[in-house]
Structure 1
Amino acid sequence: MAAPGTRHAFARRSLLRGVVGGGVAAALGACAGPQDAVRLVTDDRWRQFAGTTLNLISENTAPTAAIAANLRPFTELTGINVNIITLELSAMVQKVALDLAGGESQYHVIYADPYQVLAPYSKGLVDLRALAGESSLPPLEGGFADFIPTQLDAAGRFGDRDQVFALPYDCPTMIWQYRADLFEKHGPRMAQELGFDPTPGPERTWDEYFRIARWFNDNTDEVAYGAGHQAKQHDSLMCDFSNVLWAYGGDYFDNGKEIGLYGTIDPGPCRLGSDAAIAAAEVYQRLLQVADPSSKTWDWNGLAPALSSGRVAMCVNWHEYAAANEKAMPGRFGYAPLPRGPVRSANHYGGCGIAISGNTLPNQRRAAWLFVNWATSPQTQLANLKSSAGGGTPTRDSVYRLPEVRQAEQRPSPMPNILTAPAVAEAWKPENIGLRPKIPMWNECDTAIYTELSKMLAGDSNPAEAMRAAATRIDRITARGWAS
């Protein structure tokens, strides 16, 4: 008898193969089928699908907020109208899954989270290389090589290293955020009493981070606590812990870096029971012992205001909270790569791409490519960076090299998120980037990890028990195969 869920998994996979392989032909051959976009005869490659309407489905993200607030440039350039549907991520994933499996293309452009969309549904997405090479369409400015390489791999590929299913669209990355004014004020005394330079950066260790946090707890009333964490029983806890796990040489599976960059449907046995993983869990438990006690109730959205309001002196959080920091207390914050463990500094990358549904008809697909091309272009990324509606940080090298962007790295900055650029540039290097496993069953694995970590932080298990229990649960999940 098949393992629970196996029959369903095979059926869903077969259905997706049918959607991609035969859905377009079936739609074209059916009298009452969906109508393709009309292609106009024009020398303007941007306007050949004028009058078309596209639907983009996205998580509520900063880049999507910025684009939604300023769609006019795209409409004026192309004559294409775009409807933007934004949802909480799990709700968005459910709608995408139903649309792809049902052979529909209600959503032409898809926000492709690498773990919840790209990994389980890559067979339902378009390989963008063909569109990028089509001479009748505008070229991809700078080509694929202009995207930050680790981001193109992590957000854009699955399985086959040559195929590109999504273009990097956002790039939230976990870095060390701290009250630079307090470190400057107390730095000499901290250095004398702690025996090391406390200036944040990748040469610091997680043990030193712990000691700095405890020093603030014991020696100053300017903040309530030295550090805060996003240790709620939630995805945020897995994210927070992972930085320490990788720094100590642990990982979720063998070949973790390769799995994080390119993905797999068969990751092999979970390695959370290793000595390195257990050591990392012990360190993480210690960090929480000196952190703000509310850390166990915070995700990233709870932690961010704790720092920007002056409650904690430092934290690890996604770099795009810099804009909120600078708005709350301008000029008082610093940004650095995360501390080292015995193996490296590891900085958790959480970026996503945008993709095109494989169910689109030929001209719909080309029209969707115009939007994907424009939305990730250097000009649009620069506009997003400046947007008062939000906006993320660029995923293209060329944007960071622009003179006005380089100048904005210094205060006062009209683009406060770019103050993190030196830190994230280090974080995105292959030796420093932290990548969770890009596997179709990651959601279930994630739940197992943060559930067992929460038990550990509550005192219901010790680090070794928590890691081994998580590994056992994950092995059961991956042994069932993936249900896409």
Structure 2
Amino acid sequence: MPRKVAASRGHSASFTRRVLICSALLTGTAAALNQAKADDVNWRQFEGTSIVWAYDIHPYADAVAAQLPEFEKLTGIKVTPELYPDDAYWNKLTIQLSTKSPSWDVVGTGIQPAWDLAPGQLLEPLDRYLSDPKLTAVGYDYKDFFPALRDALTWKVKEGQIEPGSGQVWAVPHGFENIQLFYRKDILDKYGLKVPTTPPEMSAACEKLKAADPAITPLGVRGVRFWSSIHTAAISIAKSYGVHDFIVKDGKLDTGLDSPESMAFHTDYVDMIKKCAAPSFANDNWYQVVDGINSGRTAMAIDSNMFGFWNDVAGKPASGKIAFAPPLHAPNKDFESNIWIWSLAINAASRKKGAAWLFIQWATSKQVELNGAVAGKLVNSPRASTWSDKAWLEYAAKPEFSNFVDTFKTVQDRAQLAFTARVGFAEAMNAWAVAMQKMVNGADVKATLADLASEIRSSM
């Protein structure tokens, strides 16, 4: 299959441009190569091997693709990227791994999809690679990844179900997202609006904004009938209300989506969506959220924080006009932020696992992560060392990026996985997304939540 390194929906430059960006970081790349040569690992032990790396079309993929010539030079391993649009990638991932096809060696995944893949032995546990001095360099420093990210990707599989907290490492963080409110400073300043902090405050602000300029959508937020529309704004705000997707009740697992806390959250959230979101809410995914904030058709958005950063880059229509704040929260409560972790994993059916591991190790190394960050692509590095590195902090502190770094640090202190680890996550959360649409369309909140909880319980 031909190499596919496509542009990332308006966020990515051409592959040639990415290589040029990487070339501007030659000093850092040379340091990485020198470090690699100094390590005890024989980076050429799988020389002549060819592997396939599959991933979503995304700036995070761009950050690695731009540096691939250096990896191939270092190892003698040929890497063919297969990058697909978001909608198609997850289906292809499930098919490739569930049929135990060996054609993909390294795959990009998130925590939640990995929950469904690991119990069927479709992903390769990585502990033995991490602990093998012949395969993992001394300077790799796995503990440099933020603890919340390492913990989220470590679990046991017991009786076909996920048991988090300890166990095996199933993937390595490559990039991640915490959830924030980002907004157009120019629009809020023009109409004298303060940055909302709660759903009721947002609802009030939206009504003022719509009265002042009906052409502007006050708030961009995902609404599609897919779990991805729950994992950004909805679950982050819901957690601050005390909502839990699953709870243990009388010693048994149960859902918490019909609790009084859930009723309070959904009442406020649904009201906010009705007053603030675009009429296209039910069909809006992250593409529409990002396009709206970039073009100025949307004043505010609650989504993954790096979207605001990419649209603040010099030369973009919104450059210097986007600022950041923690996500909304329940009145008189502190905010909560969910995390999504883009990760690299090995297909258990791969016949080239050693070479695949060297690629993952290199792609998630300190220097490659830093290079991607300074190139403006991998702006949420999962490594703590990146966030204290002078080169990254100087770049991210440019005036056009407003308060990105400070808000990231504030939010990251409270960011954690908001969902309960379990097989069958997607089915339950898809049902939640469908219920959300029904409530926004006028269905009774209490009755809809009761139906949702009943549906989830019947599948447990």
- TM-score bucket of the superposed structures, by smaller chain: 0.7 to 0.9
SS of alignment partner, residue 385 of structure 1: helix
Whole-angstrom distance in 1 between the partners of 2:216 and 2:90: 39
Give the Cα–Cα distance (whole angstroms) in 1 for the partners of residues 363 and 248 of structure 2: 33
Match of 2:283 among 269, 280, 297: 297
1:151 to 144, 149, 152: 149
- The equivalent of 1:65 in structure 2 is 62
- Distance in 2, matches of 1:155 and 1:213, equals 38
Q: Output the CA distance in 2 between the equivalents of 1:374 and 1:309.
A: 37
Q: Secondary structure at the match of 2:290?
A: helix
1:328 match: secondary structure:
coil
The one-letter amino acid paired with 1:350 is W
1:339 — aligned with what?
328
Cα distance in 2, alignment partners of residues 44 and 242 from structure 1: 42
State the 1:304 CA deviation.
Answer: 1.4
Question: Kindly tell me: are residues 230 and 276 of structure 1, through their superposed partners in 2, closer, same or farther at Cα, counting changes over 3 Å?
Answer: same
**In structure 2, what residue type is equivalent to 1:131?**
Y
Determine whether 1:423 maps to 2:432: no
What amino acid maps onto 1:420 in structure 2?
A: F
Mapping of residues 320-339 of structure 1, within 5 Å:
320-322=306-308, 323-326=310-313, 327-339=316-328
> Match for residue 384 of structure 1?
372
From the superposition, tell whether residues 360 and 275 of structure 1 become closer, same or farther in structure 2 (CA, over 3 Å).
same
Of 110-119 and 51-60, more deviation after overlay is shown by 110-119
* Aligned counterpart in structure 2 of residue 279 of structure 1, from 264, 282, 289: 264
1:101 to 1:285, Cα distance in 2 relative to 1, 3 A: closer
TM-score, normalised via structure 1 length:
0.76
**Within 5 Å, which residues of 2 pair with 1:88-99?**
88=85, 91-99=88-96
SS in 1 for 2:280: helix
Residue 436 of structure 1 aligns to a residue whose secondary structure is: coil
| Larger radius of gyration between Structure 1 and Structure 2 | 1
CA spacing shift, 1:421–1:163, aligned 2, 3 Å: farther
Structure with the largest fraction of strand: 2
Offset of residue 274 of structure 1: 0.3
Contact kept, 8 Å, 2:311 with 2:319, in 1: the verdict is: no
Amino acid at match of 1:421: V
* 2:34 counterpart residue number: none
Question: 2:223 touches 2:281 (CA, 8 Å); kept in 1?
Answer: yes
Change (3 A) 1:318 1:458: same
Q: Quick check: 2:43–2:74 contact (8 Å CA) kept in 1?
A: yes
Tell me which amino acid in the other structure corresponds to 1:62.
Answer: P
Counterpart check, 1:399 vs 2:386: yes
Equivalent residue number for residue 5 of structure 2: none
Structure 1 letter corresponding to 2:70: P
Q: How far apart are 1:376 and its partner, in Å?
A: 0.7
| Counterpart residue type for residue 151 of structure 1 | L
**Pairwise CA distance, 1:318:** 1.5
Instruction: Write out aligned runs for 1:390-469 (5 A).
Output: 390-412=377-399, 420-429=404-413, 431-459=414-442, 461-469=443-451
| C-alpha separation in 2, matches of 1:97 and 1:299 | 21
Amino acid at match of 2:149: Q
* 1:355 pairs with 2:340: no
The alignment covers a number of residue pairs equal to: 407
Q: What residue in structure 2 maps to residue 262 of structure 1?
A: none
- Equivalent position of 1:55 in the other structure: 52
Counterpart of 2:76?
A: 79
Higher mean Cα deviation, 272-281 or 93-102? 93-102
Shift of 1:341: 1.0
Query: What is the distance in 2 between the residues matched to 1:422 and 1:344?
Result: 17
Contact 1:132 1:140 in 2 (8 A): no
C-alpha deviation, 1:410, in angstroms: 2.1
1:184-195 mapped onto 2 (5 Å cutoff): 184=189, 186-187=191-192, 190=193
Note the C-alpha offset of 1:44.
6.1
- The Cα shift of 1:109 comes to 1.2
Length-normalised TM-score, structure 2: 0.80
Matched residues in 2 for 1:319 and 1:394: separation?
Answer: 12
Q: From 119, 130, 133, give the equivalent of 2:131.
A: 133
Contact 2:108-2:342 within 8 A present in 1 as well? yes
Alignment-derived partner of residue 238 in structure 1: 230
The answer (yes or no) to whether the contact 1:129–1:164 under 8 Å persists in 2 is: yes
- Distance in 1, Cα, partners of 2:306 & 2:239: 22
CA deviation map 1:435-455 (0-9, x unaligned):
233322122112211111111
**Aligned amino acid, residue 241 of structure 1:** A
Residues 212 and 255 of structure 1, relative CA distance in 2, 3 Å threshold: farther
Instruction: Go from structure 1 to structure 2 and tell me whether the alpha carbon gap of 1:94 and 1:450 turns closer, same or farther (over 3 Å shift).
Output: closer
Write the distance in 1 (CA, Å) between the matches of 2:420 and 2:433: 15
Residue equivalent to 2:173: 168
Distance 2:455 2:62 in 1: 37
CA contact (8 A) 1:426 1:432 kept: no
User: Structure 1 stretches of 5 or more lacking a match?
Assistant: 1-41, 191-197, 257-265, 479-484
* Superposed displacement of residue 255, structure 1: 6.6
- On the 8 A contact 1:335/1:420 being kept in 2, the answer is yes
2:455 is equivalent to residue 473 of structure 1:
yes
**Residue 210 of structure 1 corresponds to which residue in structure 2?**
203
CA RMSD of aligned residues (A): 2.8
Q: How far apart are residue 392 of structure 1 and its match?
A: 4.8
Q: 2:255 aligns with which of 263, 270, 278?
A: 270
Looking at structure 2, the residues matched to 213 and 87 of structure 1 have their Cα atoms a distance apart, in angstroms, of 36
